[in-house]
Structure 1
Amino acid sequence: MSTIAVIPAYNAEVHLRDILSRARLYVDKVVVVDDGSDDATAFIAESMEAILVQHETNRGKALALKTGFEEASKHDPAIIVTLYANGRHNPDDIPKITSPVMRNEADAVCGCYSGEEECPAEVSGFIHNTCGFCAFSPAAYEQLKFTETGDGVETEMLREAEDAGCRFKGVQLYKASPEKEHLLQEHKIGVVVPAYNEEKLIVPTIEGIPEYVDRIYVINDCSTDNTAEVLNSIEDPRLFVINHETNQGVGAALINGYKRALKEDMDIVAIMAGDNQMNPDQLPKLLYPIIEGKADYTKGNRLFSAEFRGGMSKWRTLGNGLLTMITKIGSGYWHIMDPQNGYTAISREALANIGLDEIYTYYGYCNHMLVRLNAFGFRTLDVVMPARYGNEKSTIKYGPYMIKVSLMLFRSFLWRLKMKYMILNFHPLVLFYTLSMIMLPAGALFGLYILIRKILSLSVSTNYPLLDAVILIAGLQFLLFAMLFDMQESERDMRSHEMRSNQPYE
């Protein structure tokens, strides 16, 4: 007895991966109907081996369901389950929905989230109560016409099954967790939007920022197009525009936005680029950990799995992977990935204590932020989300960029060791790192010296290779011990709920 889940999806990248991974535990196949999405919905569905059917344009839920049922019917399933991609249906409830059909107690089953009220026993009770989480036997789904009415296609599907003489049953469901939207309303949230020559994309970027955001700080970094004029035409009372007379770089733009947010006493400040490549539906995932006291700084992570790397070239993935490893060492946050992801959120307390005037103003600002956050003991958290790119080509030259950011991270790494493990506290890992940075290069140079003398047929003491091996092994051991202690300190900071807001910064 096979079961197929049909998922109509439109711009569903936020929840789709989690829904698919959990739904596959309870069904044999999953059909995803991508109803004209312009995000990573299709890529995620294909990567997770769902049966993907795509509409070129958005045709609505009724036609998406019809397309999904037509595709599912080709596999002759015993049960078809409707499951939505907006995160409101809990895939773990699939057995509750399908059990009455499996036991031949009903042909059409629908779940209801009615709280303490009893779930309706007849279709008429679902006119204003259907959640769209339903299961149909062949006797039921073969009768469906997917008519869109004022009561919604879901209610009409149940009516069509009932009119055909099919047996119906309602199943009580309970929400997995209480809604948390009210938490967003209880905090002052600001969004900083750096913009340089974004006349075409700045309007959709601002229009997409959710209503619960209290303030939008757009920093026009001396754009040479009509960005300034476009910003002046936007009638949004939340908008505050800062115009730079000279181009100062994205890091400087963000710093000025942060400073303004601090002046206006924002509780949390997020970053959303002006090119409309940061999905506003992902913003709550960055905000909730800070609101709930689980983190002080959250950032996106596109490297977590292949499903989330759609649109990222192999070279970009490789470069990001290398910078991830360098940033892990430089920042001391060994659990983070994708440090170049600029979709971030930070608490007021962290923002006020990391020393904004010291932040690197080139594109490596996000890596430098992590170094300073770690030095002062703030907690960071990765939030997995898919890559999202438009048609614009990056102007960054990756060779010079990698070199420049790597050098900055090395200098910042030395500063972090001094600040965190010598000034604010003391830890012997500083000695281990120092010895490793002396002995490993010395061992490498000594080994090169031995090799050159061998090539030139010059005499070399038999003790030299052994001495070089001892130097290299000792240097490597010092490095590994230093990294181990650094990891332990980072983990201790992450477990700690005590902020170090009163510590000085350089």
Structure 2
Amino acid sequence: MLNNKTIAVVIPCYNEGTQISMVIDSMPDFVDRIIVIDDVSKDNTVDVVLEYLKKDNSSPLKLTSNLKKTISPTIYNQADIEVHQKNVEEVKKFTPIEILNQNPDQEKIILIKHKKNGGVGAAVATGYKWCKDHDIDCSVVMNGDGQMDPNELNSICTPVVEEDIDYVKGNRLIHKSAWVIIPRIRFFGNSILSILTKIVSGYWGISDTQSGYTAMSNNAINSIPLYDIYKRYGMPNDVLVKLNIAFCTIREVKIKPVYGVGEQSKLSVIKVTFPILFLLIRCFFKRLKIKYLYRSFHPLFLLYWVSFIIGTVNMYFLYHLLINFFNPNSKTPTDYLIIFIFLTISGFQSFLFAMWMDIQDNERLSQ
């Protein structure tokens, strides 16, 4: 425990048989539960973790799922009963699992096996669900490939357990070794995705959006629909949008980039690029609709939409201007050119004003 708060580490795994021992062995003593989620690995990942379960795996802290408790109804707690029932029923919306522990209430390492492959996001969601059901105060995500230094776990958890920050992300890009250690293509791709995710999520102060080394508070984990987390590599971006819609506070802490510890990248840039771009577009409009229309109307909702509508209409004039420009026998209509310039300036101004309002409104969430 840290500051009398329970700490659990969620480790999503897919074919990490060579790395998972290193991750488990290096876990700090203050960690109360290590939750390994195997996403139908084809190697010996499960067998390696099962060997740990055969050893003395007991924990002095007993944790029982709150799904087992019953709430006696009164005239004042109907809302609590509804929330509890929702938590029980939402289990069906997650990837089907099997818990391989004999006594999960008192064992430190919890081994959960997906019955079908769901992706890294689905594995993290399963781990978060376990933490939510057991009232964990601080839920950390560490990959099973050993690319996250357990010695930095304390600095990741501290803002959550001592300052009530809802979500903490490790930032590799601000570390002095980032430009040397991180492969150039990853550094560039991460930077581009981070810029786009700033606009999409509303968290304008973050710079390493793709970092998977994170800590989430109990408040945050109960504020977002865990079963709806994006199941593949766009999961960090999707989680940020969901947290922003829920008005959760966020902070980044400096961590070192770790490469060359025996990990094998399973990321295919070509396969994930377009799905993540489509995800970002969908998430952006979802955030505008839910946060700035349904929950608390804000003028930036109108300004963003005015800029999009103007941009769409302006494509008509741009098309005709280009046609006339490349046709030597035609003359560009002056009125089309004037309208195009006017719409371009108006749309750009609307977009910038909306973005400025978005930055101002979300400053309070970056702490």
Q: TM-score, normalised by structure 1?
A: 0.60
Query: Counterpart of 2:135 in 1: which secondary structure?
Result: coil
Counterpart of 2:361? 489
Q: Does 1:404 align with 2:222?
A: no
2:239 is matched with which residue? 369
Specify the alignment match of 2:345 in structure 1.
473
The match for 2:152 is 282
The aligned residue for residue 177 of structure 2 is: 307
Residue number among 444, 450, 464 corresponding to 2:336 in the alignment: 464
Is contact 2:205-2:366 (8 Å) kept?
Answer: no
Distance 2:312 2:170 in 1: 36
Post-superposition shift, 1:268?
Answer: 0.5
The Cα shift of 1:201 comes to 0.9
Counterpart residue number, 1:186: 4
The aligned residue for residue 246 of structure 1 is 116
Q: 1:465 and 1:305 mapped to 2: Cα distance? A: 48
Match of 1:8 in 2: none
CA RMSD of aligned residues (A): 1.5
Structure-2 residue corresponding to 1:198: 16
Residues of 2 paired with 1:408 and 1:255: CA distance? Answer: 17
Hey, what's the Cα distance between the residues in 1 that align with 2:168 and 2:348?
A: 33
State the shift of 1:185 in Å: 5.0
Q: CA deviation at 1:260?
A: 0.7
Corresponding residue number in structure 2 for 1:388:
258
**1:274 Cα deviation (Å)?**
0.7
Verify: 1:356 aligned to 2:226, yes or no. Answer: yes
Q: How does 1:102-117 map to 2 (within 5 A)?
A: none
The 1:204/1:393 distance shift into structure 2, 3 A limit, reads closer
Name the SS for the 1:353 alignment partner: coil
The secondary structure found in structure 2 opposite 1:383 is strand
Match of 1:229 in 2: 47
Secondary structure in 1 aligned to 2:2? helix
Number of residues of Structure 1 aligned to a counterpart in Structure 2: 313
Q: Alignment partner for residue 347 of structure 1, among 212, 217, 224?
A: 217
Q: Per the alignment, do residues 293 and 422 of structure 1 end up closer, same or farther by CA in structure 2, a change over 3 Å counting?
A: same
Q: Which residue of 2 aligns with 1:413?
A: 284
Q: Which has the higher contact order (CA 8 A, sep 6+)?
A: 2
Matched, 1:209 2:81: no
Q: Please report how far the alpha carbon of residue 308 of structure 1 lies from its aligned counterpart in structure 2 after TM superposition.
A: 3.0
CA distance in 2, matches of 1:494, 1:316: 25
Q: Deviations over 1:402-421 (max 9, x none)?
A: 21111101101101001110
Tell me the residue number matched to 1:219. Answer: 37
CA offsets per residue over residues 369-390 of structure 1, 9 Å max, x none? Answer: 0001111110111111121013
1:265 maps onto 2:135 in alignment:
yes
Offset from partner CA, 1:148-178 (integer Å, 9 cap, x none): xxxxxxxxxxxxxxxxxxxxxxxxxxxxxxx
The superposition leaves residues 91-116 of structure 1 with CA deviations (integer Å, 9 ceiling, x where unpaired) of: xxxxxxxxxxxxxxxxxxxxxxxxxx
Cα separation, 2, equivalents of 1:467 and 1:410: 28
SS at match of 1:310: helix
Return the letter of the residue paired with 2:274: I
CA spacing shift, 1:445–1:322, aligned 2, 3 Å: farther
Distance 1:445 1:400, change over 3 A: farther
**Given that residues 302 and 309 in structure 1 are in contact (C-alpha distance below 8 angstroms), is that contact kept between their aligned partners in structure 2?**
no
For residues 419-475 of structure 1, give each alpha carbon's deviation from its aligned partner in whole angstroms, at most 9, with x where no partner exists: 110111000101111111122243244223212123222243212111101101100
* Contact 1:205/1:276 (<8 A) preserved: yes
User: In the aligned structure 2, how far is the partner of 1:454 from the partner of 1:250?
Assistant: 49
Q: Distance in 2 between matches of 1:309 and 1:385?
A: 14
CA distance in structure 2 between the partners assigned to 1:305 and 1:204 by the alignment: 23
- CA positional deviation for 1:306: 4.4
Q: Distance in 2 between matches of 1:309 and 1:249?
A: 29
Equivalent residues of 1:298, 1:344 under 8 A apart: yes
Secondary structure of 1:463's counterpart equals helix
Question: Structure 2 CA distance, aligned partners of 1:306 and 1:444?
Answer: 44
Q: Unmatched 5+ residue regions in structure 1?
A: 1-182, 496-506
Task: Give me the whole-angstrom Cα distance separating, in 2, the residues matched to 1:205 and 1:252.
Answer: 20
Whether the aligned pair in 2 keeps the contact of 1:185 and 1:212 (CA below 8 Å) is no
Q: TM (normalized to structure 2)?
A: 0.82
Question: Which blocks of at least 5 consecutive residues in structure 2 are unaligned?
Answer: 59-107
Distance 1:195 1:440 in 2: 44
2:284 maps to 1:431: no
Matched position secondary structure for 2:34: strand
- Aligned residue for 2:215, secondary structure, equals strand
Structure 1 SS opposite 2:116: coil
Q: Which residue of 2 aligns with 1:56?
A: none
Name the CA distance, whole Å, in 2 between partners of 1:417 and 1:243: 36
**2:187 alignment counterpart:** 317
1:449 aligns with 2:339: no
Could you tell me how far apart the structure 1 residues matched to 2:194 and 2:313 are?
27
